[in-house]
Structure 1
Amino acid sequence: METVEEHRENLQRLQGVWDTLALLGQMSGAVPDIGSTRRAFEQLGSTLLDALATRTLAHLRDCLQSRAQVAIDVLVRNLFERTADVGFLATDSELRAHAQQCAGEPQPDPQRRAALEARFREYVAKYSVYDDILVLSPHGQVLARLMPGEPDTAAVADQPWFAQALRGSGYVEHAGALPLQPGRSGLLYAHAVRGNGGAVVGVLCLSFRFEDEMQRIFGQLGAQQHAGALALIDAQARVVASSDPWLLPVGAVLPQHAQPRLRFAGREMVAALARPTGYEGYGGPGWRALAVVPADAAFEPPLPGQGAEQQALPPDLDRIDTQRLFDAQLQAIGPQAQRIERGLARLLWNGRLRQSEDSLAGAAFASTLLGEVGLTGERLRGVFDQAIANLHRSTLAAVFDRVRHHARLAIDIMDRNLYERANDVRWWALDGVLRATLAGQAEVPQAEAVLAHINRLYTVYTLLVLVDLQGQVVAVSQPGAAHWRGQVIDEPWVAAALACRDSQAHAVSRHQPSALYEGRSTYVFGAALRDAQQRPVGAIGIVFDGAPQFTAMLADAMPRDLAGCAQIVTRSGLLVASTDATQPVGQPVPLPPGWGQLAAGASGACVIDINGVAHAVGYAMAGGYREYPVARTDAADDVGTLVITPLGRRLPAAEPPVLPFEARPVTGRRGRAPLLRVAAFRLGDGWFGLPIEQVLQAPDGVRVTPLPQARSLRPHLPGLLSYEDALLPVLDVALLRGIHRPPVDDAPIVVAQAGPQHRLALRVDELGPVFEVHPDDLQTVPNGTERLVQGNGRHMLTLLDARVLWQATSDRALPEPTASV
């Protein structure tokens, strides 16, 4: 992991410098023992590197797991539709009639077979997911098929799947060698065809375009742009399909326990395995999805121009409280590094207080050494800050990538689903019984039996209705909707359906309330039915069960470990569906910038504030599926998806940091007055100090004991401090001077000597430099008790007097000091 290794090298280099400085300090006695601080930094560095490596690996595994889960769930949803298709088509009147008549003929009638094969072509023109359709006799003879020029005989009679289909217990799913397609393997759906007496007279087989569909799924998930591969494996861990046949060849048998590590063909890989979530009780052919990436390429960035580059992060993310994205260990690293640095500053401050004035050379060496120790500590802290910032950016980048990816997944699932609805309504409009009923050549109960059979197979619909040319309901699929018979449906989709120009056309309503859906909003698909002369005789309408189906689509697309919700939204910003049940359908929702002008199939991510909380929002506009650019009839009716997860509340604008106080260099002695040494500290945004003879120490590990009623009576006296067997009053100098700032739990404490028998503790915000100043350079302020020190630049330091500060802790003033003789 390149970034982790870079931080490791920086830490090791600085630790080496630290060791050298510690050795020099011990040899000269000029530096206090910093061994404990070094060990604290070293331990925290190890924790940081472990956290970086763990989080980086977790990001990779999350990405792999997400891609694998999506791959298998999208496929299972698709295959669920195939199980319904084969059950319905097996009851087609023309197909059944052909199979039954063939039972009494030595050879199928060529004209009847040609008519049925033309019907198959009509079917595939609508359901382009199939590459072949076959009708086999109970002995395996081909009675009709879609693909011309292929052999008409095959040894299928002894195949287990064929025998199971003949038993007529429902659909049969067969993965493997395809009948009458030599050398090809794929996925086949078979169902018994029954004659008028109920006897099995044949088997219908639908050959699914499996390889084509898997390449679409792999492409949608960006498999070709990543270093690894996506694959399907069966129960024996054999590869069924692969996005990279060189890395995971089709037919290869993998180790059964393929996660989180996989060793195959001499390569070590990081792997994630996903089982299907299931849809409407269907779990697929027993396959699983596997996502892998070779360990030696796992953390490499995508190659330029490969379409997998990360989009730039939205601005102002540093002003969002994103702590919830990190676990407790990561949240503690930054504050812990600050505490260690403050402890080091305390050690160095105390060391500067103890510098001897007897040896100028020794004092200069000690000052230089202390400065280098402090600088090394700052560099170590800088490494921590940079590492945490990198981790913060990578974590946010992963969040935005995930919401964008899952928004695209959600709209892809919806486009696929509505594609199926458009196919269904157009095919059912060709049903002979339904057409005959509208033409007055069949009874209504026959039509309702067909509609009811369809509705049982296709559970995504609440109701199917048949209407005549005046929009009057002729037949319904549900007994509970019998009251609709004879009523005229006055909804725009009816006229649009009756106006369909041919069997390839269909109509779809806007997503709006429909009386057929109890006044709730949904889509109603319609198509015209025609008589033998191709004249319109009515229309069929299918009412999509939008409320639960849309929610299920969004739930499948929403990551299980991501807080928030997923939404389907119109271009105008009205809510179609949401995983949050408290959001009312049809209401406006917050939208990404430029949502109304978003191109079909476009996607992205942004930040939206909702109720004072910043949210990462992934968005995607409908782009269609296969031959359908979009499933709606007008761009204004397009919908898109939003995947929303909270990041945190907006933080107020950060105050500019207080610049450190830099003392002016002393260029020489003027007169006999000795130089004044000052120990500086910060209060709020100002710098203050005490003469060094009034400062004893900045103790470590102190604990302030609160005083009763101190907060209300004397807020500047927060408590008492035990120091050298005595209790000292603690004075918050900032509060005393009217400086208000957020409290700091481990703020530095300075012990001051106000008199021979009088000590007090000062709570300050930060320890500053210890420097020298000529008394003539001090400026007296009007109150006469304080003096000002001019630093480099615009900084001024206020020199306080511990004797005056003592008066704020006691009602008695200190006696005047005795003049020395």
Structure 2
Amino acid sequence: MPTLKQYRDSLQQLQSVWDNLSLLGQLSGTGTDMNETRQDFSQVTNNVLDSLAEETLNKTVTAITVKAQVAVDIVIRNLFERTADIGFLSTDDNVSGFLIKYAENTLDDNDYLALKLRFEEYVKKYSVYFNIVLLDLNGNVLVQLDDENPISVIHDPLVNQAIDTEDAYVEVFRKTDLLPNQDVGLVYAYRVTTDNSKKALGVLCLCFRFKNEMEGVFSDLITRDEWALGFLLDEKGIVISSSDHYQIPLGAKLETAVDKDWILTRFAGREYIAVTRETKGYQGYMGPGWMGHAMIPLDHAFDHDVSGNVDNIDKDLLTKVMRSPLLFSQTLLEIPKQASMIQSKLNQSVWNGNIWQKRISSGLTHQANFSKMLLWEISNTGFKTQNVIENTVSDLYQTVVSVMLDSSSFFASLAVDIMDRNLYERANDCRWWALTATFQKLLPKTNLTTQEQERIAGVLRYINGLYTVYANLVVFDRYGKIIAVSNSDYKDCVGTIIDAEWVARTRSLKTSQDYVVSKFEPTPLYKDEPTYIYGAAIRSEDGQFIVGGIGIVFDSTPQFAAMLEDSLPRDANGDPIDGSFTLYVDGELKVISSTLPKFKVGSQFNLQPHLCKLETNQAAFDIAIYEGKYYAVGARASSGYREFKGPDDEYQNPVTALIFIPLGNAAEIDAIIQSEYSFQHNQFKPTTTNNSSATAEEYATFYVGSQWLGIPATQVVEAIQSTKIKSLPETSSILAGVIQHQGAVIPIINLALTLGDTSNDTLDGQLIVVIQRTEDSSKFGILVNALGEIPAIEPEKIESIATIFSSANTTAEGITKVDLENGKHNLLIILSAESMWTKINAVHQEYLDNSKLKVAA
């Protein structure tokens, strides 16, 4: 972990400095004990380095976990569609008619050519297949699309399985003599029957382009600059698909981590972090038992620095979400505060050390200067340590936020990929079903009988039973009149004219490869709710004339909702992250679907609209605030799948997927940030007297609120942390109360109130500067927020307050300009101990007078 090593090295160097300073402090007698400070800093640094290591590991594990999960789930979704394909194509009239003639021995060359052309048409639509093979009951090859496949008869068990199975399909992934030139093949097979009989006539096989499909999956999941590797494993943990055959070849057996978050594993002499995920399945289909697996070489697992992801994010928003208790534990959020408090205690110790040196080093200028320089070095080292801790924590915060932003973009990409792949199938379905022989034979008739209409409706119902993603299927004639529907809920639509622009476009399509898609708008074919309808022209049997069309009504409400639900980021238990939501938005900023009911379908989307104007396939992310909460927002513009919405497809419909992942409650974060303002990170340099005049006097300085104040160092006893201050009833609020100090009771002034700062009302936990007017006079204390430098100032450089405010009732007696190395403050107000004591006496007298009046009453 390079970043972790960098910070650890810096802190170890500082630890060596601490050791040297501690020894010098003991030898010089500065009066400053650093042991507690060193231990406190050491504990904090250990905590922050442990947290950074944990989050750095989590970043890597999270990244490869989603890759493993998506790799298997996206494929299972695809294969689910294949199980429906084989069921429908095996009932195709052209296929069954061919086999009937084969049994009757009446086939001629035209029959073979016609069926092969039929298979070509199918693969033009469903390009996920590379071959279709029709077998007789003995495994003899009758027709196949691929002329290069050297088979005439097969003896594979899948033939008998397809004939005898009680399931709706047979799915095999193994070596098969159906594909002798391939080591393994993914084949879907089923028996072919007639309408009136369940008796098998033959077996139809669809050969899936598995290698091609996985190349596309891995290219989307893993970019060229990533070290991650993606795999599909079978149930035995053997690699059946690899994103990098050179590192992990096909057939290798890998150690899996099904029951663990991640494992450290070794392969071919190299160590990897690995995760394994089983599929979540799709609509009950769990696939062939495959698992998603992802690995990353240990020596490159933490190379990728994601902190640059936030460079273009609004700095104010970023600062706020980096303080979110939703993203970080309270312990982690408290680390900068702890470092600040340790530094504050160290400053107090150094400050007191300087006051003490002033007393014991009278006349020993050289010794005093050495002690002051040593004290400054101690304070400076503490400041450096605090700075490294804060930078480490900041890096940690940025890592977590960057991962969230990166994840939002990834899941948006997943959502749009799922949508494009799904709608690709819809474009295929409408074109293929338009070629159904029953439709082509009956629609040219002028007046269809009730039986003929019912025959068309029966085909539609059968299709709809296999392909449940549709709410309704309709066939209409050349005039747009509905002939039949698949869903009886829409039987009243039969005989009506579809008055929609997509119908007119359907009637003008030129080839069997062409299709149309309606706008996403309400339609009576979907209970007046908005959806997409995919349409294709039905042609006469000779292909010369358009005789009608088919419209397939996508069941958009549940289907899009399921896609978005599957795209939500999830926690370790597989549950969607609480508060996250996702949407599909079209090019007109209309909501197509949303997992958050407040974004209604069809409504205008105005939250982060710039993310909906991305170029094709472009991804982006940002931070947004919505209803008082901060969100990481990921977006991805659709780019289609295979030829669907590709550069050669006339259909182009820009849709953006957006994922919102909660980053925290705005009010809660603001409260945390506000509470941290009281911890001023101050570093001061005690001034030596080498370059000062003999008349210069040292002033002990401190902060009350934002004001920089000072008093002669000779009048200061020490700075202490306030213990429980005992308040006095019926006294002015300027007098905070009294405390015990060195055996005496001393009053404490809340100086902020005399300066007009009413916000400084917290008394406990603050610093108290104890002041003694003269060597033998009474002491009192001042509540302060932080300590400052101890500069030496010549008397002539102090401007008397009296010359500025002639009748001012103030505790200040002068003001001076001080040049400091840090440049943060240069105007110092000199306080008068006598004026403050006068105020204390006045308050005390008021307290006595009130007491006498009470007694008299």
Length-normalised TM-score, structure 2: 0.87
Alpha-carbon RMSD:
3.1
Q: 6-15 or 682-691: which moved more? A: 682-691
Quick check: 1:468–1:474 contact (8 Å CA) kept in 2? yes
Deviation at 1:616, TM superposition (A): 2.8
What is the match of residue 853 of structure 2?
none
- The SS at the match of 1:459 is coil
- Equivalent positions of 1:141-540 (< 5 A) are 141-157=140-156, 159=157, 162-163=160-161, 165-184=163-182, 185-195=184-194, 196-257=196-257, 259-301=262-304, 312-316=311-315, 317-324=317-324, 325-355=327-357, 356-358=360-362, 359-440=364-445, 443-534=452-543, 535-540=545-550
Deviation at 1:589, TM superposition (A): 1.7
Quick check: 1:133–1:204 contact (8 Å CA) kept in 2? yes
Distance 1:69 1:201 in 2: 41
Distance 1:508 1:709 in 2: 82
- The SS at the match of 1:645 is strand
What is the match of residue 140 of structure 1?
139
Distance 1:59 1:541 in 2: 46
What is the match of residue 27 of structure 2?
27
Quick check: 1:663–1:792 contact (8 Å CA) kept in 2? no
> Counterpart amino acid of 1:628?
F
Quick check: 1:473–1:485 contact (8 Å CA) kept in 2? yes
What is the match of residue 818 of structure 1?
none
Distance 1:725 1:132 in 2: 99
Query: CA distance change for structure 1 residues 668 and 61 in 2, over 3 Å: closer, same or farther?
Result: closer
Q: 745-754 or 239-248: which moved more? A: 745-754
Distance 1:81 1:132 in 2: 17
Query: CA distance change for structure 1 residues 726 and 594 in 2, over 3 Å: closer, same or farther?
Result: same
Query: CA distance change for structure 1 residues 366 and 668 in 2, over 3 Å: closer, same or farther?
Result: closer
Q: 681-690 or 12-21: which moved more? A: 681-690
Deviation digits for residues 618-645 of structure 1, max 9, x if unmatched?
2222211111235998788421111223
Distance 1:778 1:85 in 2: 93
Quick check: 1:729–1:760 contact (8 Å CA) kept in 2? yes
Quick check: 1:67–1:291 contact (8 Å CA) kept in 2? yes
- The SS at the match of 1:292 is strand
Query: CA distance change for structure 1 residues 801 and 742 in 2, over 3 Å: closer, same or farther?
Result: closer
Query: CA distance change for structure 1 residues 633 and 182 in 2, over 3 Å: closer, same or farther?
Result: closer
Distance 1:231 1:669 in 2: 74
- The SS at the match of 2:432 is helix
Deviation at 1:169, TM superposition (A): 2.5
Query: CA distance change for structure 1 residues 369 and 257 in 2, over 3 Å: closer, same or farther?
Result: same
Quick check: 1:117–1:146 contact (8 Å CA) kept in 2? yes
- The SS at the match of 1:254 is coil
Gaps of 5+ in 1: 816-821
Quick check: 2:535–2:550 contact (8 Å CA) kept in 1? yes
- The SS at the match of 2:642 is coil
Distance 2:26 2:332 in 1: 34
Quick check: 1:666–1:774 contact (8 Å CA) kept in 2? no
Verify: 1:96 aligned to 2:96, yes or no. Answer: yes
Distance 2:308 2:769 in 1: 53
Query: Pick from 529, 554, 578: which aligns with 1:544?
Result: 554
Quick check: 1:508–1:632 contact (8 Å CA) kept in 2? no
- The SS at the match of 2:235 is coil
Query: CA distance change for structure 1 residues 186 and 730 in 2, over 3 Å: closer, same or farther?
Result: farther
Quick check: 1:165–1:172 contact (8 Å CA) kept in 2? no
Query: Pick from 808, 817, 821: which aligns with 1:791?
Result: 817
Q: Identity over aligned residues, as a percent?
A: 34
- The SS at the match of 2:143 is strand
- The SS at the match of 1:391 is helix
Deviation at 1:281, TM superposition (A): 1.3
Deviation at 1:776, TM superposition (A): 4.2
- The SS at the match of 1:499 is coil
Query: CA distance change for structure 1 residues 739 and 287 in 2, over 3 Å: closer, same or farther?
Result: same
Query: Pick from 740, 760, 766: which aligns with 2:786?
Result: 766
Deviation at 1:152, TM superposition (A): 3.2
Query: CA distance change for structure 1 residues 198 and 727 in 2, over 3 Å: closer, same or farther?
Result: farther
Distance 2:16 2:625 in 1: 47
> Counterpart amino acid of 1:171?
Y
Query: CA distance change for structure 1 residues 436 and 623 in 2, over 3 Å: closer, same or farther?
Result: same
Q: 77-86 or 263-272: which moved more? A: 263-272
Distance 1:752 1:290 in 2: 70
Verify: 1:748 aligned to 2:767, yes or no. Answer: yes
Number of equivalences: 804
Query: CA distance change for structure 1 residues 742 and 313 in 2, over 3 Å: closer, same or farther?
Result: farther
> Counterpart amino acid of 2:786?
E
Verify: 1:734 aligned to 2:752, yes or no. Answer: yes
- The SS at the match of 1:103 is helix
Quick check: 1:788–1:796 contact (8 Å CA) kept in 2? no
Distance 1:312 1:596 in 2: 21
Distance 1:774 1:302 in 2: 53
Quick check: 2:276–2:293 contact (8 Å CA) kept in 1? yes
Query: CA distance change for structure 1 residues 175 and 162 in 2, over 3 Å: closer, same or farther?
Result: farther
Quick check: 2:589–2:605 contact (8 Å CA) kept in 1? yes
Distance 1:450 1:202 in 2: 21
Quick check: 1:512–1:523 contact (8 Å CA) kept in 2? yes
Deviation at 1:315, TM superposition (A): 3.6
What is the match of residue 702 of structure 2?
681
Query: CA distance change for structure 1 residues 668 and 484 in 2, over 3 Å: closer, same or farther?
Result: closer
Distance 2:67 2:256 in 1: 20
Q: 185-194 or 521-530: which moved more? A: 185-194
What is the match of residue 855 of structure 2?
none
Distance 1:634 1:759 in 2: 89
Deviation at 1:461, TM superposition (A): 0.6
Q: 286-295 or 394-403: which moved more? A: 394-403
Q: 776-785 or 122-131: which moved more? A: 776-785
- The SS at the match of 1:619 is strand
Gaps of 5+ in 2: 572-576, 803-807, 820-824, 847-857
- The SS at the match of 1:22 is helix
Distance 1:311 1:319 in 2: 11
Quick check: 1:165–1:171 contact (8 Å CA) kept in 2? no
- The SS at the match of 1:353 is helix
Quick check: 2:408–2:633 contact (8 Å CA) kept in 1? yes
Deviation at 1:140, TM superposition (A): 1.3
Deviation at 1:581, TM superposition (A): 2.1
Quick check: 1:134–1:144 contact (8 Å CA) kept in 2? yes
Distance 1:455 1:57 in 2: 48
Length-normalised TM-score, structure 1: 0.91
Deviation digits for residues 555-607 of structure 1, max 9, x if unmatched?
22221145432111111211111111222111122354655653222222233
Q: 395-404 or 587-596: which moved more? A: 587-596
Distance 1:593 1:55 in 2: 32
Query: Pick from 528, 548, 568: which aligns with 1:558?
Result: 568
Verify: 1:638 aligned to 2:658, yes or no. Answer: no
Deviation at 1:722, TM superposition (A): 4.7
> Counterpart amino acid of 1:147?
D
Quick check: 1:136–1:204 contact (8 Å CA) kept in 2? yes
Deviation at 1:223, TM superposition (A): 4.8
